[in-house]
Structure 1
């Protein structure tokens, strides 16, 4: 482990905003870990929206993307923004030893940056997220990604994401897999913030979007005796459709939509078990967070993430309502059979040190 008394070398974490879920939570978690290691940590974002309590140990910067929408969309706009970002970092942060770029907007911009020590964090299985097998525009999209990601090292948040990346793009750059970190101590502390009004329930945490497959979850849940209520934490563009499906399946009395919750951990801690029904993920942080709280969890065996941190018995086939329903029934009868241990290699400081190795940092 690095010495906490190292000089205040600077780390920059770039992301569009701090509104969202997985990638945004990753930025704040890994940022706190770099601070713990003694670094001066800066969060750079392009949208002012924030849905999290911000860590006062980190420094926050905003370059408003909307101001550049008057420029033609695409390469020219990203080049102009890259020059602006480079000037801003050199003037206000000076010389970072590591810049982690997160998600597509940031990646597009930093692909034109002239700064050193840039690393892209690949948070999702790109072929599934962008439907490479289903769109006629696949070649152009893949060529665009190759152009972006060939310019700097890439860190994929799971082995599955890494395998997909290499399969789709080849050996275009240095590619490493580092699992998303989970701060067990913080999760356990925040889980005691309050006691939910609900008792004896199943919990699902995730945005209402296509990948999460709330529709499968609800259809499977409808096949059970519904003896345990199902709580859904999250928000998103598909919420109206999910609400319609709940009514259509007659589940309104047993399925509760609680919206976005900055601190979902008390709900997770007090659940009988947690469920994930996604078609694809990068490295779902909700799994190790449940494990950190000693909460049993079942998950679809999607292409990357779950199988790397859960035993086989905890997994279900993707896109199979009956299989999900059967696993739900088993978990409702005996949740503890799906308990699994937390893997300490997922602790944030361990992950932060691995990111430093990517740029061969020497203190």
Structure 2
């Protein structure tokens, strides 16, 4: 499909920063795939923080968001930055045939952009991410989101995210579900970078934030025989709370905090199995990455993501400590019963082709 387009064409990928997890890895992976297809790829950020080794085949640009904080938050600030972005892209990059905007800061800015061919990438189940069930003024919140996401077409990273979007907002824009790209070959190479000092363990990869439900996972793990230690890889604002919970549950000898690791794949590769206990995910990138390494996975049955990657046997009810404990025990006894095949349709150039087909349609 990309043969229709000139291989000199430019693609812009926008995101707040390259510090983070799923969406940031998406930008770098899809960027490399577009480059492999022959496009001139530019990554635009609004914050200089970087936690990844950057692909030298991509060109990186920074427009410092902090310079605009003196402006009133919302429409005024976003519209001013959008004008700056449009002028910058026109002068420094040229005329992109595709702009992919990722996450809320970028989305808010590009809702005021005059550039053509902008597509929002929706990485989260929005009704859960914005806690619609707890919102004091739900209609006002929905109206604000509709005002943003009706401006340009949207690609959702899973069918579950798309279903939630349509249920909450209706038919407000062209929309498609395209899974995140998984660079299996690069992941397998990175997984051989070192051998962890730990052996025979369970791995959990994810930021210490509410959605990941480390608290539920630990309470469930405490009800098992803890025959395998649990390694927690990640960082985040709730880490101290989780460390205290580990102490309260008497698990200090069984739970290891690994912190942030730019290359988590050796830890995943050498794990007996991977566990996910989230209340919600967008796509659950870490599941697909574990499958790419041939590692068994068990996961809560989130509203989106895991069910599209794993068989029924590998799923657990979310926030159900007893059910999660039972599944953990089964996996500790026989991890291979939770092995699942990697879907080659997730390979990066295949996913990149789907984006190109979407904008041409």
TM-score for both structures, normalised by structure 1: 0.98
Query: Structure 2 matches for 1:151-190, cutoff 5 A?
Result: 151-190=151-190
8 Å CA contact 1:301–1:315 kept in 2: the answer is: yes
SS of the equivalent of 2:148 reads helix
8 Å CA contact 2:2–2:356 kept in 1: the answer is: no
SS of the equivalent of 2:340 reads coil
8 Å CA contact 2:2–2:357 kept in 1: the answer is: no
CA offset at residue 290 of structure 1? 0.5
Q: Which runs of 4+ in 1 moved over 4 A?
A: 1-6
* Distance in 1 of aligned mates of 2:187 and 2:5: 26
SS of the equivalent of 2:354 reads helix
Q: Is 1:224 equivalent to 2:221 in the alignment?
A: no
Please, which moves more after superposition, 129-138 or 55-64? Answer: 129-138
8 Å CA contact 2:11–2:99 kept in 1: the answer is: yes
* Distance in 2 of aligned mates of 1:194 and 1:273: 18
CA offset at residue 7 of structure 1? 2.5
Q: 1:110 to 1:279 in 2, by over 3 A?
A: same
* Distance in 2 of aligned mates of 1:151 and 1:357: 20
Paired residues, number: 361
5+ residue gaps, structure 2, are none
8 Å CA contact 1:184–1:347 kept in 2: the answer is: yes
SS of the equivalent of 1:224 reads coil
Aligned-residue CA RMSD in angstroms?
A: 1.2
Partner residue of 2:272? Answer: 272
Q: 1:5 to 1:140 in 2, by over 3 A?
A: closer
CA offset at residue 358 of structure 1? 1.7
CA offset at residue 214 of structure 1? 0.2
* Distance in 1 of aligned mates of 2:123 and 2:56: 25
5+ residue gaps, structure 1, are none
SS of the equivalent of 1:282 reads coil
Partner residue of 2:130? Answer: 130
Q: Is 1:93 equivalent to 2:86 in the alignment?
A: no
Q: 1:4 to 1:290 in 2, by over 3 A?
A: farther
Q: Is 1:304 equivalent to 2:304 in the alignment?
A: yes
Partner residue of 1:283? Answer: 283
8 Å CA contact 2:181–2:346 kept in 1: the answer is: yes
TM-score for both structures, normalised by structure 2: 0.99
CA offset at residue 134 of structure 1? 1.4
* Distance in 2 of aligned mates of 1:7 and 1:288: 30
* Distance in 1 of aligned mates of 2:161 and 2:314: 20
